[in-house]
Amino acid sequence: MRLSRFFLPLLKENPAEAQIVSHRLMLRTGMIRQQAAGIYAWLPLGLKVLRKVERIVEEEMARAGSIQLLMPTLQLADLWRESGRYEDYGQEMLRIKDRHDRDLLYGPTAEEAVTEVFRASVKSYKDLPLNLYQISWKFRDEQRPRFGVMRGREFLMKDAYSFDVDEASARKAYNRMFIAYLNTFSRMGLKAVPMRADTGPIGGDLSHEFIILADTGESAVFCHKDLVDMPAPGHDVDWNDLQGLVDQRTALYAATEEMHDEAAFGEVPEDKKLSARGIEVGHIFYFGEKYSKPMKATVNGPDGEVTVHMGSYGVGVSRLLGAIIEASHDEAGIIWPESVAPFDVAVINLRPGDEACDAACEKAYAALTAAGRDVLYNDTDERPGAKFASMDLIGIPWQLIIGPKGLAEGKVELKQRATGERQTALFDDVLNQLITGPKKIDA
Amino acid sequence: MRLSRFFLPLLKENPAEAQIVSHRLMLRTGMIRQQAAGIYAWLPLGLKVLRKVERIVEEEMARAGSIQLLMPTLQLADLWRESGRYEDYGQEMLRIKDRHDRDLLYGPTAEEAVTEVFRASVKSYKDLPLNLYQISWKFRDEQRPRFGVMRGREFLMKDAYSFDVDEASARKAYNRMFIAYLNTFSRMGLKAVPMRADTGPIGGDLSHEFIILADTGESAVFCHKDLVDMPAPGHDVDWNDLQGLVDQRTALYAATEEMHDEAAFGEVPEDKKLSARGIEVGHIFYFGEKYSKPMKATVNGPDGEVTVHMGSYGVGVSRLLGAIIEASHDEAGIIWPESVAPFDVAVINLRPGDEACDAACEKAYAALTAAGRDVLYNDTDERPGAKFASMDLIGIPWQLIIGPKGLAEGKVELKQRATGERQTALFDDVLNQLITGPKKIDA
């Protein structure tokens, strides 16, 4: 993408309404723009990151055997009356009447909707286990929306739902999501800690939140320090038996404020105790027959009709962008992990109009694009200092800086955003390095 | 994808509520399921096709220089009051009050929202021309939703918006969308005819609908026959001067019912007159200052402040699936064009459990997947006849049929869904043919 043809409305000033760094940086970099309280337009830069985060979530869900569908944003109130949640849900549910005076609502979650899809389609236990997920816009009418996408009203959520013939099988489904979540967040450069959590309006008796530690987190959390740096399990696992991997993590103390047990925490060795603040990026639930029973979601089992056991599994997709920025930024702006960066490489032309600079930049842009790199070619007339500042601000991992002085010796500069390290080398060598895969600069 | 692990709830019976073939087939193939009147869940098969249609739209929009963003589904009523459309829009607009009693609405289109983004961000004529688009869910509260996704209430639309410094430049933007649309629909196997159209609630004085001819179309259309088979312009065009290509198409008579001029149609040679029914899949508008003036979307021009000239450009993304099916089906089911098929190849195991069959199917599945083909491996216990019927029903373009008899001679069967042609050949040859790119069977 040529910057001159892109739409990147950067803000020069720090927006006054933004209290936390991710909100401030998302506004300043032109990733989002507020349209109403807690409702944002995703401008091109923000949308590009959102899509990359979605792709990672999709890949990890597929790996864990979940199948993607897409339910509508608006749901019938009658479905929620079947489960008994319509009256319970309170003011966070946006209730709507259509032209025929039918009660609709903007889905804050979709347990009822997916249970309806399930009961209409699945008749035999042989079709289980089944795990269905969607990535879709939800609405929760927060009393006081704040912190940008961290607590918005219209937000993008991945929600998966598992259907199993009995509790033992449902626990396996739960474990698959548990492990998939650790891998998902790890791929985004995040250290997510699974913590025992309250089940709230979803229900059930088993639940974990996945928490990113951050000073700006909304809730207090308590955990054993070893959990923070425990590596994600990765993909080389036995998806049919993950209990060991889950136990390894749940054996250590970790709980959100609502579930905190001061006595149990007291048993954690003093030097391993961590009380901190956290951002919830995922939440998984096992709730058995809570929805399947009132909504009559049953299958024919080998010994007669069985009510299915369900769980649900949420990832705050739009919120993740805020969490990633909270975890990865500096004074100059955002530092995107390569996996979710809006562009892989910025090509910075220090003197547009100079024949040699233009030719070298065009060559780099074409070669990197052909190699599958997502390139932002900064071809504008801004002065070099402004270009460096804006590319740092939006956090592109690699900056290829091309100017007339270096080119006279056949050289260009490569800067790594995360470390600030710069390297001057022959143009073709740098290009080759970026094409074969950006690696850490060898000093 | 292994069918045994996929979620493909086929209906055995024709659903009584479906009056047209696309609606019937989308329900029967488990692509969609109605959740409320005109509101559908997209089940995995439907979502896969929807995503492929989206990708084509995105690629063609990018080629025409449009930049993707994403505006929220819910909009502030106050924005629509600025343009004067809030009261005008009538009952098709779903009006909502939030917990603080603020007026929101579920966007049926987004001229106001994008104008707000524009005026907040763009200050100079040097940043023009600009074309921004989104693919997002819209809601129109149809009095009588019908025909499945063809006239739903919650639907997926691509809407683009152009901003230009004057009318001449805005006409160029209009032409770029005009040509991009022809290419877009052509890639989906559709023959779309651009027709002079009424501007309705969007406004302006220049507008074309892109119409697919189909007996089940909702509106009467009238055009010169030559337009129907005129090939799409393709990608090798001069995006800065498309007037000739547009003129070539607009010189011939083509109008929707609302714009029909019997006298002008009378001048079309008798043997070239076509009056038919059509499905609208795209609609483009040039409306100048209709929104930019009341909403004060201006830029600093070389000679002072200029109100921008705008156009908007819609594609009915979810509706396109219905249109494609209307245009491409037979008694046995859907015939997907390869560009939008949910899977490229179905591997049909005629005897699961047979060691040679299983091994050959696994080999084919792995090799085709590795080659980037989207494969549905029918590994279920159904009898062969049922497998053939269901793969025909869901319309996979290529069916690789592997059974014990053929395998004994090292042979498999390849069937092309569109033509019904079958070819028996050596396993490796067929595999190679599918890997190097499914081509028409040489008889």
Kindly determine whether residue B40 and residue A68, on different chains, have CB atoms separated by under 8 Å.
no
Q: What is the ipTM of this complex?
A: 0.96
Residues B12 and B106 in one domain: yes
Q: What pLDDT shows up at residue A439?
A: 52
Q: Give a yes or no: residue B337 inside a domain.
A: no
Across the A:B interface, residue pairs with CB atoms under 8 Å apart total 137
Q: How many residues does chain A have?
A: 443
User: Residue A370 is part of a domain; what is its CATH number?
Assistant: 3.40.50.800
Going by C-beta distance under 8 Å and a sequence separation of 6 or more, which residues neighbour residue A337?
A188, A189, A324, A328, A397
**Rounded Cα distance, A161 and A157, in Å:** 13
**How far A99 CA lies from chain B's nearest CA (Å)?**
6
SS3 assignment, position B246: helix
Q: What pLDDT shows up at residue A209?
A: 96
Residues B362 and B276 in one domain: no
Note the maximum CA span of chain B.
81
Residues A368 and A280 in one domain: no
Give the number of other CB atoms < 10 A from CB of residue B247: 10
Residue among A159, A163, A36, A149 nearest A108 (CA): A159
Residues B324 and B349 in one domain: no
Kindly determine whether residue B6 and residue A30, on different chains, have CB atoms separated by under 8 Å.
no
Residues A326 and A374 in one domain: no
**How far B185 CA lies from chain A's nearest CA (Å)?**
24
**Rounded Cα distance, A201 and A316, in Å:** 17
Q: Residue A72: which of B35, B71, B132 has the nearest Cβ? A: B35
Provide, as residue numbers in chain A, all residues whose Cβ is less than 8 Å from the Cβ of B72.
35-36, 39-41, 137, 154
Residues A245 and A379 in one domain: no
Provide, as residue numbers in chain B, all residues whose Cβ is less than 8 Å from the Cβ of A10.
none
Using the 3D structure, point to which of B295, B330, B365 is the last residue of a domain: B330
Q: Give a yes or no: residue A251 inside a domain.
A: yes
| Placement of tokens 């829009």 in the chain | B89
Kindly determine whether residue B137 and residue A73, on different chains, have CB atoms separated by under 8 Å.
yes
Residues A378 and A292 in one domain: no
Q: Give a yes or no: residue A336 inside a domain.
A: no
Q: Give a yes or no: residue A442 inside a domain.
A: no
Q: Provide the residue type at A50 as one letter.
A: L
Residues of chain B with pLDDT under 50: 440-443
Residues B323 and B358 in one domain: no
**How far A409 CA lies from chain B's nearest CA (Å)?**
34
Number of domains present in the structure of chain A: 2
Report the Cα–Cα distance between both ends of chain B, in Å, rounded: 30
Using the 3D structure, point to which of B281, B298, B330 is the last residue of a domain: B330
Structural domain boundaries enclosing B389: 345-435
**How far B35 CA lies from chain A's nearest CA (Å)?**
7
pLDDT tens per residue across span B319-343: 999 999 999 999 999 999 999 999 9
User: What is the enclosing helix (H) or strand (E) of B302?
Assistant: none
Q: What pLDDT shows up at residue B235?
A: 96
Residues A130 and A236 in one domain: yes
Residues B361 and B243 in one domain: no
String of DSSP letters for B68-83: E-B--SEEEHHHHHHH
Residues B359 and B250 in one domain: no
Q: Give a yes or no: residue A340 inside a domain.
A: no
Give yes or no for a contact between A412 and A360, defined as CB atoms under 8 angstroms apart.
yes
Using the 3D structure, point to which of B330, B359, B385 is the last residue of a domain: B330
Token output for B21: 């073939």
Q: What is the mean pLDDT of each run of 10 residues along chain A (443 residues)?
A: 97 90 97 97 98 98 98 98 93 97 98 98 96 98 94 97 97 98 97 90 84 91 96 96 96 94 95 96 96 97 96 98 97 97 98 97 98 97 96 98 97 97 96 79 43
Q: Give a yes or no: residue A338 inside a domain.
A: no
Q: What pLDDT shows up at residue B442?
A: 44
Q: Give a yes or no: residue B161 inside a domain.
A: yes
The angle at the Cα of A331, spanning A325 to A334, to the nearest 5 degrees, equals 30
Residues B105 and B213 in one domain: yes
**Exposed e or buried b per residue across A279-294, where buried means at least 16 C-beta atoms within 10 angstroms of its C-beta:** bbbbbbbbbbbbbbeb
Q: Residue B36: which of A44, A70, A104 has the nearest Cβ? A: A104
User: Residue A307 is part of a domain; what is its CATH number?
Assistant: 3.30.930.10
**Rounded Cα distance, B281 and B317, in Å:** 8
